[in-house]
Amino acid sequence: MYQEWIELDLFHWGLATFSEADFEASGINAEDRFLIQHMADQEIGHATVITNMLGPQAPKQCTYNYPVTNVREFIDFNQKLTRWGESGVYGFLPHLNSGPAAQLLLQSITVEARQQLIFRQFGGQFPMPEWHIAGIPQSWAWTFLAPYISSCPADQTRLVWQNFPALHVLNQPNPARVNGSDSFNETIGGSSNTLSTTAIPDDQLCLNATEQGSDCGPAISQNRTIPLSYPGRKVFLQWDEPGQVVGPNNSYVTSTNVQVPQFAAWVSQLNVTYSPLENVNTTDRTAYTFQPDVSTWAGDPAINGTMFLALTDVDIYVTPYNLTQINPHVRAIAIYQAG
């Protein structure tokens, strides 16, 4: 319910905040803007259905804060937000006792999956590089979502899920660059690691590129000559301390059971793959790791697309169905833009 409300608000907010000229400069024309408006209308239907399912306990629409300052950042924030919304439902849907409730949610989340694909296309990214979409625990989805909710009505239903500390990918691949991997400290928005265009020179913005394979204007499909990430890439990480207040009226507090992380857990497609953390500094809360080279099937890199990264103290074996068993071992979580 919280996810559907923020999508409804965010889509409308972007259309109202940025001018037609702003959108046109990013390659988003009037028909594209109508599609964003249509997706906002879809959220009205989703919110209505879930409200009817939950009854008087249903959370109401809140007020929100968004980290973005231009159209390119708005599009990227949307493609990340719709991904954790989509994956959050996949994570709990098989565990519902109510088959009828699961059926209604399934029929709405399939639309949300299409929205995520559309925002990737608007950002000039390949629409669906992965072969499977990962599911994540509800606490992860709530961790990603909560920081962008400023306040809610006084009688709002309180959620019981844990809010993990944010994990910052210092060299998060930036899809706004010609070479997306050539980035450092170019993110906004905490654990969402949304791209920032502020520090990118004009000649390195892929939206300005004219050579095929380097440009990243909105398109049904874009092949990038230089991949956003690659196996063996050195990934620099920094994580927040627990105890930070987040969410509606700062009424939630981040927490973790882990003191010193030892592994990076790459949650993508059907796999959770661990890589050891190197040079762990508990004072600065920093470390680095190397992006693993792993595939479930030949020709399908497991680490791809808009995916999830967690720091853990053990490399516990989990499956897509019981991923929540990793939660007691998680220090911080992030979105990683692998492709």
pLDDT digits (tens, 9 = 90+) for 86-129: 999 999 999 999 999 999 999 999 999 999 999 999 999 999 99
**Contacting residues for 37 by C-beta, under 8 A, at least 6 apart:** 11, 12, 15
**131 shares its domain with 207:** no
pLDDT of 157 reads 86
Report yes or no: 289 and 276 within 8 Å, Cβ to Cβ: yes
**184 shares its domain with 291:** yes
Diameter of the chain measured on Cα atoms? 55
| Listed residues 92, 116, 151: the one ending a domain | 151
Task: Indicate the number of domains in the chain.
Answer: 2
In a domain, 157, yes or no: no
For residue 8, the surrounding DSSP H or E stretch is helix 2-17
| Listed residues 98, 118, 151: the one ending a domain | 151
Assigned token pair, 319: 């499956």
Distance CA 100, CA 77 (A): 32
**Which among 62, 87, 67 has a CA at the least distance from the CA of 1?**
62
**101 shares its domain with 224:** no
In a domain, 253, yes or no: yes
In a domain, 158, yes or no: no
In a domain, 156, yes or no: no
| Listed residues 119, 151, 183: the one ending a domain | 151
**37 shares its domain with 136:** yes
**229 shares its domain with 184:** yes
In a domain, 159, yes or no: no
**204 shares its domain with 261:** yes
**173 shares its domain with 291:** yes
Assigned token pair, 274: 């661990």
Domain boundaries, position 118: 2-151
**Contacting residues for 273 by C-beta, under 8 A, at least 6 apart:** 265, 266, 292, 294, 302, 303
- Cα-to-chain-centroid distance, residue 65: 16
**171 shares its domain with 145:** no
CATH number of the structural domain spanning residue 140: 1.20.1260
Q: What is the pLDDT along the chain (339 residues), one digit of tens a residue?
A: 999 999 999 999 999 999 999 999 999 999 999 999 999 999 999 999 999 999 999 999 999 999 999 999 999 999 999 999 999 999 999 999 999 999 999 999 999 999 999 999 999 999 999 999 999 999 999 999 999 999 999 889 889 999 999 999 999 999 999 999 999 999 999 999 999 999 999 999 999 999 989 999 999 999 989 999 999 999 999 999 999 999 999 999 999 999 999 999 999 999 999 999 999 999 999 999 999 999 989 989 999 999 999 999 999 999 999 999 999 999 999 999 999
**176 shares its domain with 325:** yes
Distance CA 93, CA 227 (A): 33
**212 shares its domain with 140:** no
**139 shares its domain with 175:** no
In a domain, 162, yes or no: no
CA angle 186/189/190 to nearest 5° reads: 95
**145 shares its domain with 216:** no
